[in-house]
Structure 1
């Protein structure tokens, strides 16, 4: 059956499960917008007033739904504004299909206003690009884009589509969607079971692939079967292992020297779905001890052997592979051995958590708050079914140490490093899961980069609690400066006293200033009662959050 190009585009979107379009429109998108307005059952258009907000909302939505989100940007400038979000999505492996309208081809050689090299701009930030020049190529390119967006490693795919192409009075054929069978268990699991089952001090590094593929239960089975201590990968973007579990030992820091020292306590490690231990900042030497036996499992074959050698490299879907590995390990590890390891690890980890909790509780006060107290108040107030979207950088590290979460999808972050993601991602998350409480924990610098997303929160009336940790500085830069031996105040890092209550009011978002740590806890605990967005301005003391 033939369709005009813009209608063919909509037909494919519906077939791919797209129910919302995240965009900021311009003249080069008018044929697409016209088709949306004229089509019954078309996806809802979710407006963002800045492309950074648009892409971050789509990122949060795609993570929550588990399917690619569709983004519509406007020409070169709109694409450029969205590049930070696309870099984050590529790093975090979020599946997005992104379309930007290009200027009319009939005068493109004359360098018209707003035109630009869209493919050149997008290429470093996405998995693949399509420069669509013929109407009959659009449906095929779209089908490919959706398939590529989810294929390991998942990520954003970009299409440049000229405005006159979408407006053509011609019919194009829409190819049927081809279902792709899911990836199966890895080959070589018997050798992995032999190595891991023979360990005397086994460990697991839980990578973000576990959270993305909803394989937490499978990884818990493996950990309990062998009695392995579990660490989150450095700068994890997902909840990849329950932080309530007795085997959980916290996250590895993103420094090779500290990772190496931590993993030196083990003889065999299973690295499941972790992206290459990306370091920040630099430290000399490899991430893994030379004597450590490594079993590396990932759905992406390019990860195996990429940054460190593996004694057993396995490629396959994480859930099926881990469930099969647990079965094989049950035959090799006596139940009493695993149970003993779990008990000893639980005693050790409980004592460590109690010390951390005590230090944080001792810092409770009226505002301004110590960072430890603010982080603890958030963690203590979280409802059991809450989803945390975190972009708090320094205070976020403390939140990670304190949260007690075990439900898949209950913690998200972006390792991409482009600030401004958090507010929009939380809005997208709430749109995808309207019945789940969403708490966004934000640094003040991060919030400033993404402040325009509050407009969409108010427009959509998403019941998100935005908790802004307001320390008046780029604290992570200051801390790193001090660690490197810098003297005095690091230039360019002081933001001054910011009033986020007034900023939220401008966008139509209810806001309150936290009076104390207990007040923060109370506000977080009440997130489930929200009928629209609310912002909490948490004033912090002028001290590094590394101190209590």
Structure 2
């Protein structure tokens, strides 16, 4: 008779979930025993880093990924990183060990009390098997829920369940298939095609879900077909459109009034693959300009339901995009060059300006480089200097949870070994995920980490000016040396202070991880 563990391993292998990101405790060891040779276990030294790596890996591969955490304390450590995975809609399948069943009611040490509630509301689904025989079905549900909802799920399993022998019914899980399809009805497509075709001055707002779905190039085709000014939705975690394209108008600001102002003059705003909208700074005003109509197309029913204005069609944006390309008249015009040149980078005074750093990245790194970015105070400089023309070129913490950059860069590099990966991380953010350097070194992950050291929480200081609270403690972090820290974790590192040296370091070949620390001038996000 097969054990619950054997059926679980076979199910995961059949589904392709053979890379496990984890930091195990005693409750998890029975699940990890006797792993088949097809599995790869990636160890992280902190649960937040584990989830960050898995988030990057899931985004890079477009597939669910298994995460193995310890019970309550370990799962709690992971929750900060989980906030980013929720809003990047990453299908993470989080498993955690539970105490043995006879000890759970007594709340013995390492019991996961009310396990299904622990990760709520972050996990889109959470469960605990009712008995050992229910373990395979529960694991399958966790995987299918993650795939169907595109969200993290959480399963707590008592560790004495794994050695239990199960009858033939348990193996029925192995052959299950659950598929997702969101094709809009013919009349819904007809109405949308008519709206877009009749618009006098339509605009596109594109979200990260398009890049997640591999629709980067098709989004470009639609913008050019409609000759539509194109924005990226505020607070993007992926880039769904080339930022130097002649139709690109920038990333929408994250305030109500400022978005309304940006969209002034457009009678129709078509939002594809994004919420409406992910506001941040509270800048009150009208949601939309007078006379502007908004239509949102998303496969995220929750995002459609909670939007404060506009029409919404819950459907696969890719299907809608193709219908618009096929059924609307082309408005394309002869417009010369498709891409606009970058401006000269601003220069720092006693330190390098971030624009100089980003211009050097643009000049030295391959065009298909994937950048994992966590440096909020340099956003404006980033978009002025980078030239990103490929899908999966940009990854950013979707919920602003610090600690994403270093781990996610490791995960992206492991998930897409065919692409160069550069992590661009501020010195404030780097501390939250610093142990990812050990994983990068241990598994010889070919990733370049660029640490921008300005000695401050720059974005926080900028917010202080917005809120009129400039005179507050805790916004400066002098004295950090990430080159020495990296070497302690086994990652070769160097510090650069001038442009020529930065150019040389970034052009140097490497077959494993490396870290380059750059002292930069303090800047603001805008």
**Contact map agreement 1:478 1:493 (CA 8 A) in 2:** yes
Offset at residue 130 of structure 1 (A): 0.7
Give yes or no for the alignment of 1:122 onto 2:119: yes
- Aligned pair partner of 1:385 in 368, 376, 398: 368
- Residue 141 to residue 208, structure 1, CA distance change in 2 (3 Å): same
Checking the alignment, whether the CA contact within 8 Å between 2:19 and 2:66 is kept in structure 1 is yes
Selected match of 1:473 from 456, 459, 474:
456
Q: Distance in 1 between matches of 2:142 and 2:481?
A: 42
Match of 2:513 in 1: 533
How does the TM-score come out when normalised to structure 1? 0.90
* 1:362-377 aligned within 5 A: 362-363=346-347, 368-377=351-360
Specify the alignment match of 1:230 in structure 2: 230
Work out the CA distance in 2 between the residues paired with 1:398 and 1:379: 12
Q: Which residue of 2 aligns with 1:323?
A: 322
In structure 2, the residue matched to 1:214 is 214
Q: What's the Cα RMSD here?
A: 2.1
Structure 1: gaps spanning 5 or more residues: none
- Equivalent in 80, 90, 95 of residue 94 of structure 1: 90
Would you say the 8 A contact 2:206–2:274 is kept in 1? yes
The corresponding residue for 1:463 is 446
Match for residue 151 of structure 1 among 148, 151, 171 = 148
The answer to whether the Cα contact below 8 Å between 1:6 and 1:166 also exists between their aligned partners in 2 is yes
Q: Secondary structure in 2 aligned to 1:132?
A: coil
Deviations 1:92-128 (A, max 9, x none): 1111101000111112222222223232221122101
CA distance in 2, matches of 1:122, 1:493: 30
Q: 1:297-316 CA deviation, whole Å, 9 max, x = no partner?
A: 111233335323325x3222
Give CA deviations for 1:62-105 in whole Å, capped at 9, x if unaligned. 11111100000011111011111212111111111010001111
SS in 2 for 1:125: coil
SS at match of 2:119: helix
Q: Is the 8 A contact 2:446 2:510 kept in 1?
A: yes
Q: Aligned pairs, how many?
A: 521
Aligned equivalent of 2:483: 501
Contact 1:52 / 1:84 at 8 angstroms: preserved in 2?
yes
State the Cα distance separating 1:419 from its structure 2 match: 0.8
The alignment status of 1:9 with 2:8, answered yes or no, reads yes
After superposition, the Cα gap between the structure-2 partners of 1:218 and 1:128, relative to the gap in structure 1 and judged at 3 Å, is same
Please state whether the residue corresponding to 1:338 is helix, strand or coil.
coil
Contact 2:133 2:166 in 1 (8 A): no
Partner of 2:57: 61
Q: Which residue of 2 aligns with 1:255?
A: 255
1:111 maps to 2:93: no
Q: Do the aligned partners of residues 305 and 24 (structure 1) sit closer, same or farther apart at CA in structure 2, a change above 3 Å counting?
A: closer
Alignment of 1:8-47 (within 5 A): 8-36=7-35, 39=36, 41-47=37-43
State the secondary structure of the residue aligned to 1:406. coil
- In the alignment, the residues of structure 2 paired with residue 305 and residue 47 of structure 1 have an alpha-carbon distance, to the nearest angstrom, of 38
Partner of 1:442: 425
- Structure 1 residues 239 and 544 mapped into 2: Cα distance closer, same or farther (>3 Å)? closer
Give the match's secondary structure for 1:236.
coil
Structure 2 unmatched ranges of 5 or more: none
Could you say what secondary structure the match of 1:404 adopts?
Answer: coil
TM-score, length of structure 2 as denominator length: 0.94
- Go from structure 1 to structure 2 and tell me whether the alpha carbon gap of 1:181 and 1:126 turns closer, same or farther (over 3 Å shift): closer
